[in-house]
Chains A and B, each alone.
Chain A
């Protein structure tokens, strides 16, 4: 006791070290006395504060601090009570000095680790008071900074003290967080401080800096359960202080959060932002755009960790907002601009999210986007375009390794279905998606223009040997590509850009997947395309484009596949065209400044200007290819309900159809139109051929059809059949007409066919010939 009195007697100018040492020693020797000492000091202190004897207050605090530091933690528990009471008293006084002093002591206390539980100890007052100090509005800037700094440090102390310890008050309680977080953010939001970049030395005592530090500290201590309660006030603060637009501060804030938060919880932050976006559905597009931008930035940082368990949910939310925004096209031009910006931001963000996904999920996401793709309807065009742009974004992030992985049937079919959309711009987008997915060697840029280089080395293409599984993939799914490309070319709404995009797709397919097995098919495709141009009712401009496309394509394919005789043949035809029909070459056909008058009136094209099947067959045989497939048009409709439903009757019709043609023993052009060329030679060949291979393929196709109907969604099938039904009816009528006329002859012929023992499976697959 006397020691303490001594202590006070000599305190006129600071604590006497000697006496203090004695006291410390005493307290350490008899720790049980510590709480009495604490109580005494506390009473002295409150009396001194009351009487405004500031000097004594300092001494008492100093003594308390030293005792606190010196003594072992297990004996501190009761002493802490009086200590905290004193700190509180100091904070309650209106003297700035005392408040700062109290904070300092408190911070010292906060750094001591206690091992005894203190359930009853409460920090309500400290949190409240420190938060209030953070908002200090003192007129004197220096004092203001001091008080705010002290408040911030105090908050940090409280957080440190309680956050990691289950035996303490739960600081993550919303009651506390609602005070702490806004106080931190309020101080962080200092325009002067925003510009300071991370590297330059900082004013360590600036409240904004301290606030940032404390904030980082807080966020990095957050665990799964309480990160939300910490972030909610942030979002509310942003709303209240209108900090979304402009969003510099919001971006900064979330950058800090993303950098500090424990990696595995990053996705929670993203989730919070998403749900916050949901709350703002009706808000100004500018705000939404800003939130999305913040989201974008956050995703960039958290790379990989940004997507939690609910991948599809993330995309679903984004797509929904995209949809809402497109739906609510506002009249106001300025607002509309903001909306556009918002939509773009969403699309970018989708791309950014996708980047963080493993490859197989990217395809899943694209499938998801396509599944959300609205059914055909012209009024939703803008939306459809946006959706496709979104999936393009995803596609660009995808690195194709094998085609089978890149195009699972469930993805390929919807995608190709969309490729038949009425709108040309949309079709281009689909083609672009195909480009990015097929292209593995960055060739697509080099194939943007339809051209006829003598040597394709000029294009500087990167070609690698086609892996086996890709050839297999093409064998399986190639037919779908071919058919859709043909149909696409057949669209009257095509523009030059569409043709170019299709050309690019064709070339990419042949470069990336055109193995030896596929080569013949690809060449056959060229012939089919040519036939299409000859037979269809497209305007002259389109026909020229198609012819030019075929020429350019054959030129490229023959060179890529190293078929010199064919290359030579292509050159010959091109030369021929150069002389007589230059309008069938790319230089003319893809010249955008053409006028309608510059096209020829007549549609007749000399035989020698076209690529002839027989000639090509010859050259291919020369190169050692099996040319039997070249004579079979590839293009047939991919499997759909209609085919299936009609298969019973169509099989007969189809077979009759063949016979009709063969009876007439028509000229070359007509023969190409319909399926099998039935001549004595071909039948002989068929007999000679080992049919097991074909059989196998047929059975595989059968399986495929089966699969399609098992897996394809009902709506898809219905939609497809609806789109096609008209076309189908026409064809059907046409066929029926034909059948009714020469039925007699066909019957006769059928017998002969049977005698020649055409394998039965030929009859069973009518859809091959329906087209």
Chain B
């Protein structure tokens, strides 16, 4: 009795301290943990999205430099990447080209990538105006969104958007290719529904 139709793997990346973990927590658990410590390595969350009966697996990665090698190994099979920066930190914005380079290097070519400016609730400390972010995203052909994990602004929209986009792509692929049900995660998998009644 599978309760989802599609399964997507979404990975969040970005500099340390831009709020990746908070975004995920907000989306999967609906809470904003104030004293969130630095993520070590990678963290895993899962949430079923209601619209099309999809399941989103979210891998939250550590931003710290020293975990770079392990986090890199996680983008590889991702369906979507969310590149997060902090609108209050020029530094985190400046490092974006570097991250994009990483994506090009390690991720799947067909990956869906999103640029997200987080922490828009801190209006007074804002350093990166929205249009600059938008411009940047356009240049690199990414989707753009600004969010606030604290105020829950745009967080659900972001993930639902991704889910819809991915479903669309998956459907398209479904039409194109003949697929057999495969076990387990990673790429888009269609899991067969089987009846609940059993006869011996």
Chain A residues proximal to chain B, CB less than 8 Å: 1, 4, 33, 36, 39-40, 43, 46-47, 50, 81, 84-85, 88, 92, 94, 120-125, 128-129, 131-132, 134-137, 139, 174-175, 178-179, 182-183, 186, 233, 236-237, 240-242
Contact = CB atoms under 8 A, between A and B. Distances in A.
Interface stretch (B65-73, B120-128, B135-143, B157-165): B65-73
15 contacts: A36-B200, A46-B3, A85-B183, A92-B44, A120-B183, A121-B183, A122-B183, A125-B184, A125-B185, A129-B44, A132-B43, A132-B44, A137-B39, A137-B40, A183-B41
Given A36-B200, A122-B186, A124-B77, A237 B40 contact: no
B172 interface: no
Contacts of A39: 194, 198
A68 B39 CA distance: 37
B177 interface: no
A233 B57 CA distance: 25
Nearest to B21: A137
B199 interface: yes
Contacts of B185: 88, 122, 124-125, 128
A125 B186 contact: yes
B5 interface: no
Contacts of A85: 183-184
Nearest to A121: B183
B198 A40 contact: yes
Interface residues of B, number: 37
Contacts of A43: 1, 194, 196
Most buried by A among B41, B70, B72, B194: B70
Contacts of A132: 41-44, 59
Contacts of B59: 128, 132
Given A92-B46, A122-B183, A136-B40, 12 more contacts: A33-B200, A40-B198, A121-B183, A124-B184, A125-B184, A131-B42, A135-B67, A135-B70, A137-B43, A175-B73, A178-B69, A240-B69
Main SS of the interface on chain A? helix
B74 A237 contact: no
B37 interface: yes
A131 B70 contact: yes
Interface in B153-189: 182-186
Contacts of B65: 240
A237 B69 contact: yes
B76 interface: yes
Nearest to A175: B76
A4 B196 CA distance: 14
Given A178-B69, A233-B69, A186 B182 contact: no
A236 B106 CA distance: 15
Given A88-B185, A182-B69, A46 B1 contact: yes
Given A135-B42, A182-B70, A237-B69, A1 B184 contact: no
A214 B45 CA distance: 26
A124 B43 CA distance: 15
Contacts of B40: 135-137, 186
Given A43-B1, A125-B185, A236 B69 contact: yes
Nearest to A46: B1
Contact of A1 (B62, B194, B200): B200
Residue among A36, A84, A132 with most chain B CB within 10 A: A132
A1 B198 contact: yes
Contacts of B41: 131-132, 134-135, 182-183, 186
Contact of A240 (B46, B67, B199): B67
B189 to A, nearest CB: 10
A81 B183 contact: yes
A268 to B, nearest CB: 21
A47 B198 contact: no
Nearest to B69: A236
Contacts of B62: 135
B173 to A, nearest CB: 18
Which of A4, A92, A233 has most chain B Cβ within 10 Å?
A92
A125 B77 CA distance: 10
B71 to A, nearest CB: 10
Interface in B33-88: 37-46, 57, 59, 62, 65-70, 72-74, 76-77
- Closest 9 pairs between A and B when the two form their complex, measured CB to CB: A135-B41, A178-B73, A125-B185, A137-B40, A182-B70, A43-B1, A135-B40, A124-B186, A132-B42
A42 to B, nearest CB: 9
Contacts of B69: 178, 182, 233, 236-237, 240
A50 B39 CA distance: 27
Nearest to B48: A50
Given A47-B1, A175-B76, A240-B66, A137 B42 contact: no
A627 to B, nearest CB: 78
A478 to B, nearest CB: 61
A140 to B, nearest CB: 13
Nearest to B41: A135
Nearest to B76: A175
B184 A88 contact: yes
Contacts of B67: 135, 240
A81 B183 CA distance: 7
A92 B45 CA distance: 7
Contacts of B2: 46
Contact of A128 (B46, B66, B74, B196): B74
B72 A178 contact: yes
A615 B125 CA distance: 104
A85 to B, nearest CB: 7
Contacts of B73: 174-175, 178-179
Contacts of B77: 124, 175
Contacts of A136: 40
